[in-house]
């Protein structure tokens, strides 16, 4: 069964550094998403991406964040200058266009900012 994959599984970085989180969505999916889950809190939507541009974004997704689909398979989330409060689990998801709206989630990347 096709699945969304994410790398790395755990990333440790120092405050102020840039990080790139990588995701490989399911191959025939055209909508891509990033979510985050701070430890002990709810899963929060960050951004959706369709047709090579941002479709929707939340208030959390400020100028320090960016997304990119650099090639035909990867979907990345870049955090330009990490802060302690960026420590969280980051989930990537993908879905088909229309239809049943089901979003398939990856296993997540745990980001720890020290």
| Binding region for other proteins (CB under 8 A) | 4, 31, 41-45, 48, 50, 55-56, 91, 93, 95, 97-98, 100-108
Closer Cβ to other proteins, 13 or 44, answer by number = 44
Q: How far is the CB of 17 from other proteins (least distance, A)?
A: 25
CB of 80 to other proteins, least distance (A): 24
Phi, psi of 55 (to 5 degrees): -95, -50
Computed over its alpha carbons, how large is the radius of gyration of the chain? 13
The CB-of-7 to other proteins minimum distance in angstroms stands at 13
Can you tell me the distance from the alpha carbon of 114 to that of 112, in angstroms, rounded to the nearest whole number? Answer: 6
| Nearest distance from C-beta of residue 75 to other proteins, angstroms | 14
Identity of the residue, 13 or 107, whose beta carbon is nearer to other proteins in the bound complex:
107
Nearer to other proteins among residue 65 and residue 91 (C-beta): 91
Nearer to other proteins, 27 or 42 (CB): 42
Beta-carbon contacts of residue 106 (< 8 Å; ≥ 6 apart): 3, 4, 5, 6, 23, 91, 92, 93
């Amino acid at each position: 069964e096709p699945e969304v994959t994410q790398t790395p599984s755990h990333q440790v970085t120092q405050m102020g550094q840039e990080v790139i989180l990588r995701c490989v969505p399911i191959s025939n999916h055209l909508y891509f998403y990033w979510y985050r889950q701070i430890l002990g809190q709810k899963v929060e939507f960050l951004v959706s991406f369709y047709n090579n541009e941002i479709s929707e974004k939340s208030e959390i997704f400020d100028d320090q964040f960016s997304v990119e689909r650099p090639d035909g398979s990867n979907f990345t989330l870049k955090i330009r200058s990490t802060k302690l409060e960026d420590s969280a689990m980051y989930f990537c998801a993908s879905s088909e266009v229309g239809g049943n709206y089901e979003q398939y989630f990856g296993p997540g990347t745990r980001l720890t900012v020290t």
